[in-house]
Amino acid sequence: MDKDNTKELCGKQEGGLPANEYFADEDFSGMDKLDIIFAMQEKFDTDVMRNRGLENESPEEWIQKQTLAMLSELAELIAEVNFKWWKNPRPVNVDNVREELVDILHFFVGMCNRSGMGSAELFERYIKKNEENFKRQYGKSAKHGYELSGRENADGTGADGTL
């Protein structure tokens, strides 16, 4: 991940726009972007817990609340992309879509932090799951239900692995 401009994004002015004032004194140099997101979210969640009297929330209760918040953000996202097939579509506001995606990430990372899964573990688990998902799509998973009966795999082999 790109480490070159993280200090500019978080602690200094960039392009004439104000940076995040809550991290102006932080030095994120040497950290990748995912690590920075996790660190920023941890600080935010810690402040929310302290400021809202939620210090005694168990990880399970926190994740429940974060899940409900994420569902709310998912509803906002689906509303942005014309899911109501019974209505005339309106132009999609891509900026609003992106803002909703960031809101979803915000709650997702908060849940990762509360579950004890940091950015490194998330990355490792993602790599493994991505590989398994590809295996499933190519009919090569050991998990039942993903066989490609009668269809050719992307690598040119048949569902049984033969040419």
Give the pLDDT confidence of 54-77 residue by residue, as tens digits: 999 999 999 999 999 999 999 999
65 and 45 Cβ atoms separated by less than 8 Å: no
Give the position of tokens 């210090």. 55
Region 32-137: CATH code: 1.10.287.1080
Express as a percent the part of the chain with pLDDT over 90: 69
Q: Is the pTM of this model over 0.85?
A: no
Q: How far is CA 95 from CA 20, 61, 81, 87, 100, in A?
A: 19, 32, 12, 22, 9
**pLDDT computed for residue 92 by the predictor:** 96
- pLDDT higher than threshold 70 for residue 8: no
> What's the mean pLDDT when you consider all of the chain?
87
Question: Which residue did the predictor score with more confidence, 51 or 25?
Answer: 51
Q: How far apart are CA 66 and CA 27, in angstroms?
A: 28
**pLDDT computed for residue 66 by the predictor:** 96
100 and 80 Cβ atoms separated by less than 8 Å: yes
Tell me the domain boundaries of the chain. 1-31, 32-137
- pLDDT higher than threshold 50 for residue 102: yes
101 and 77 Cβ atoms separated by less than 8 Å: yes
**pLDDT computed for residue 19 by the predictor:** 79
